Chains A and B, each alone.
Chain A
Amino acid sequence: MTLSCTEQQRTTCSVGGMYTALAIEKFLPIMHCGPGCYANVSCTLGTMNGGQSPETYNNSIVPSTNFCEDDVVFGGVDRLHALVGECIKYYDSDLYLIIDGCTAEIVGDDLEEVANAFQSEEKPIIYTSLPGFKGNSVWGHGEVLASIVDQYMKPAADIDPLQVNIFGIVPYFDPHWSATLDRLEELLIYLGLKPNIIYGRNRGKKNIDKIPAAGFNLVLAPWTDLALAEKLKEKFGTPYLHFDNQPIGPTETAKFIRRICKYANLGELKAETYIKKEEDRYYYYLRRSYPWIYSCKNFPREFVVNASAAAAVSVSRFAVNDLGMIPKRIYVTDGIPEEYQPGVEAMLRDVEYDGDFEVIFTEDGGLFEDSLKYEDLTIRKLCVFGSSWELVPTTKEKLPFVPVTTPLGDFMLGSKTYFGYEGGLTFMADLYSDAANKVIDVQI
């Protein structure tokens, strides 16, 4: 991956991949990194991401060798070895993941050697090299999952055709990951499947152990975890269904439900009953707000997205297909490998709108704020879907704004998600509420 000069990042470096481990209950990352690497990762993926903190191991107790100048000269393997030994004694963990950062990688400290020294321990210890100069946190996430598969997973004795492993949602990098997975799990159970999720509450190692037994894998994202799904297909023969976004609102959610039911041969009746019931509810609430929405003069239909591919596809589908909005420009900021870019662009253009709009692949989150210098916002404002970095310019220019991507912002996320029918209403309420404070005039 080529990284060039950027500002206002929406990813961290690859060390952020450790948040994938932190999202798995009792999975302890052990850092062989500089003293500040965790703080950098946790600000973007945690604190400033809707005020999230990891469970089981919160911010203040993640072990690290705090790689220092002496280690550059003498190597840090001995200190790492000592730290791993202490971690096994002191942390109640099911799995351990040793990671390194830039400096340990440059001086050539051998993680595999340290991990192998502890193979007689009853708890599995795996390792992943995550030097920040190799990629961003999405890349790091992929490396961590690949290490789990390569170093830990064994084929299953039996396959459960109804079990579906959920991938594609990158925990913390997708700020709404936790509540989204909960809602998705409920939906899939209702439809008759047995969803297997590794991230979040009460899941953990036992669900990792179940991965090879799945009937199929679901990748619910434009591009993330597709490589993992291929790996699992190769290693365990598990087929996968790729649905290109986390559905928000009625159009995409119905499409998703029909698609997965067809793929898993679940029959139409249950799906259609569910869709009918939820659509009725969605449009009931929409109608209740509609007179107010109609009176929202000056609500800008045009929008710009400055976000991850996952957020960009989900949000622009809903905004265009269900809210009747118009895409103007979409910055995709997660450093997508070149081979995936044409596919993601096609996904972004797969909306019910014939006009032209720009799709820009960049990790330079600052391009959007810079572009405002050249916008004429005197006649019409713009809606903006981005990150915490967009808060200041959208406040200054009075642009309706909904944070949708990491770092989401300095506020409490709680259990919010934009997933599904309910998520669509939540998104719409967030958007119109912000617009009402900035541009909407119902009196004049």
Chain B
Amino acid sequence: MAVNLDWKVIPAREQRLGSITGYDGTLRDMAEQGCNGCLQDKRRDFQTASSCAHCHLINQLAGLQGTAVVDHAPIGCVGSQVFFSSGRARIEPPPGAPPMENVRILTTGINEPDTIFGALDKLRDSVRLAYERHHPREIYITTSCTSAVIGEDCESVAEEMTHELGIPVIVGTGEGLRSKIWASGFDAYCHAASLARLKGKEVTPKDKKRNTISYVGFAPTGRKYIAPLFERIGLDLVCLTAGSSIEDFQRAAESVATWGQCGAQSSYLCGVLEKEFGVKYFQSHLPYGGIGFERFFRDVARYVGREEDAEAVLAEERAKYLPKIEKLLPRLKGTRVLVAMGASFAYEYTRMLGELGMIPIHTVAYHYDPKLDNLYEEEKVAAATDVFELKLDVPTSVNDAQQQETNLITKQLNPDLVLSRAHEAGVMAQLQGRPALDAQIGLIVMGYRGLYRFAVLAHEALQTNNMVRHLGARYVTPFTPEYENLEPFQFYREEAI
């Protein structure tokens, strides 16, 4: 099931891509099973709260420039958005653009009587208020668990409001209960934004593409370091991230090529650009670390016929950063690392660790996609590509930020460093006195500069562990001895589905 802009409701990742949140084994085994279409999910009867598609649908939509979001939900379903609003406000705006504002998210605040009588009038009024208050160029209505369970017809209100207000009013379907994978919300964002900003647009014919490459990600942070590299092979960088305008989407549709920060957030939108507008989607090689960047940059350069220029860029980047990296290697070499991150970056960092002489002893991914949204079957997800191209393998497991599970693996393996991103796997480790590092993602990690930056941060994390050591000495477990003595992967209880 690839991308499809005729869908009213975008299927969850589990159905669309066969993605999973429960696995333990090796990356090689998981990738091979995924490629053969026989990867099975596992469930737990002991689990902790994670995150939901709804949250990520809204934070992505509201991050765009010129939009307002009306959440058709009880008030609490936008509770996490202040976090994204605050983060977005700190993004450096593109040259000439005004500083970022608060995100514009209204909620209908579905209440108890609404669950019986419906609340479509409230939804209409909320859309009108969003328009009057913020004068957006488009409005997204987002659905929720509650609006879905009580059967609200948001689509008809969206159509009605589109006519009334004269701007696109589009439904984003992101009910938290429909998927265990919060990345399903990224898909719903990509789908809704594509409907509002791309569907039916007239763009340059495939054979007359403009000299732009588009990047799909959370934020444009790091653009100033990366854009000059693409300029050397004749490509201007367009960012489809927080702060992106309707015009940016138009430029992306006219681009020669596109890629995403990761499979989780970016695949569906890149897939739309490829399927609908013939924009080549590069997804099998992500550009992180030296190896990743060289493969990716050569792929793109080959596609636009600028291989010689690319080689010059790569040589310069190597010359600029490898000597600096070299100086850090003695301290990094042999460090045993446990990685816990989102689906793509878990394996990107696994590969990058190897480049720095560090040893990934186990990688936890918060979900795994056996395939992504590229047009061509032979193109594998980046993790699987590494398994086949680089013979990369690592003990691996998949859990949706089930840190009580990751904690057991950490205890068993006793790594020198826990490398995590978001969802607090590193916090659990540090409270127990273990060195840990919260990693970054996106453009800022790209290429040799990104690898050097990561090496510096890892080096610092290993230089001193004083604060964490003191914390660890005072750690009191919130668990019982029965938990503390468990072997990892004890929480799978139900039959595989």
Q: Is B401 engaged at the interface, CB distance under 8 Å to the other chain?
A: yes
Selected interface stretch from B227-235, B390-398, B441-449, B475-483: B475-483
**Which residues of chain A are near B99, meaning CB under 8 Å?**
396
Minimum Cβ distance to chain B for residue A210 (Å): 23
Q: Is A256 engaged at the interface, CB distance under 8 Å to the other chain?
A: no
Hey, what's the 0/1 contact readout for A38-65 against B, CB within 8 Å counting as 1? 1111111001100001001111111111
**Which residues of chain A are near B212, meaning CB under 8 Å?**
none
Residue with the highest number of chain B CB atoms closer than 10 Å, among A35, A48, A71: A35
Minimum Cβ distance to chain A for residue B493 (Å): 7
- The answer on a CB contact under 8 Å between B48 and A92 is no
- The answer on a CB contact under 8 Å between B79 and A9 is yes
Q: Is B126 engaged at the interface, CB distance under 8 Å to the other chain?
A: yes
Q: Output the nearest chain A residue to B146 by Cβ-Cβ distance.
A: A102
Minimum Cβ distance to chain A for residue B237 (Å): 27
**Which residues of chain A are near B46, meaning CB under 8 Å?**
63, 82-83, 86-87, 90
- The answer on a CB contact under 8 Å between A72 and B82 is no
Q: Is A223 engaged at the interface, CB distance under 8 Å to the other chain?
A: no
- The answer on a CB contact under 8 Å between B403 and A40 is no
- The answer on a CB contact under 8 Å between A36 and B74 is no
**Which residues of chain B are near A284, meaning CB under 8 Å?**
none
Minimum Cβ distance to chain B for residue A244 (Å): 26
- The answer on a CB contact under 8 Å between B75 and A363 is yes
**Which residues of chain B are near A396, meaning CB under 8 Å?**
99, 101
- The answer on a CB contact under 8 Å between B133 and A82 is no
**Which residues of chain B are near A13, meaning CB under 8 Å?**
74-77, 79
CA distance A396 to B111 in the complex (A): 35
Q: Output the nearest chain A residue to B108 by Cβ-Cβ distance.
A: A5
Q: Is B467 engaged at the interface, CB distance under 8 Å to the other chain?
A: no
Choose from A2, A9, A67 the contact partner of B78 (Cβ within 8 Å). A9
Selected interface stretch from A128-136, A292-300, A314-322, A348-356: A128-136
- The answer on a CB contact under 8 Å between A134 and B427 is no
- The answer on a CB contact under 8 Å between A102 and B478 is no
CA distance A362 to B175 in the complex (A): 27
CA distance A384 to B16 in the complex (A): 48
Which of chain B's residues 286-326 have a Cβ closer than 8 Å to chain A? none
**Which residues of chain B are near A233, meaning CB under 8 Å?**
none
CA distance A83 to B49 in the complex (A): 12
Given A61-B403, A64-B47, A369-B102; A14-B86 close (CB under 8 Å): no
- The answer on a CB contact under 8 Å between B45 and A83 is yes
- The answer on a CB contact under 8 Å between A68 and B180 is yes
- The answer on a CB contact under 8 Å between B45 and A5 is no
- The answer on a CB contact under 8 Å between A391 and B86 is yes
Choose from B52, B104, B115 the contact partner of A35 (Cβ within 8 Å). B52
Hey, what's the 0/1 contact readout for A1-40 against B, CB within 8 Å counting as 1? 1111111110111111000000000000001011111111
- The answer on a CB contact under 8 Å between A48 and B82 is yes
Q: Is B60 engaged at the interface, CB distance under 8 Å to the other chain?
A: no
Q: Output the nearest chain A residue to B181 by Cβ-Cβ distance.
A: A35
Choose from B50, B75, B83 the contact partner of A48 (Cβ within 8 Å). B83
CA distance A136 to B54 in the complex (A): 19
- The answer on a CB contact under 8 Å between A6 and B49 is no
Choose from B100, B115, B424 the contact partner of A59 (Cβ within 8 Å). B424
- The answer on a CB contact under 8 Å between A62 and B49 is yes
Minimum Cβ distance to chain A for residue B227 (Å): 27
Q: Is B129 engaged at the interface, CB distance under 8 Å to the other chain?
A: yes
Jot down 29 A-B pairs with beta carbons below 8 A, ordered by A: A1-B111, A3-B109, A5-B126, A5-B129, A6-B75, A9-B75, A12-B75, A15-B76, A34-B177, A35-B52, A36-B49, A37-B76, A40-B55, A48-B82, A48-B83, A58-B478, A63-B49, A66-B50, A68-B177, A82-B493, A89-B483, A91-B480, A102-B146, A106-B115, A131-B74, A131-B112, A363-B75, A392-B85, A392-B102
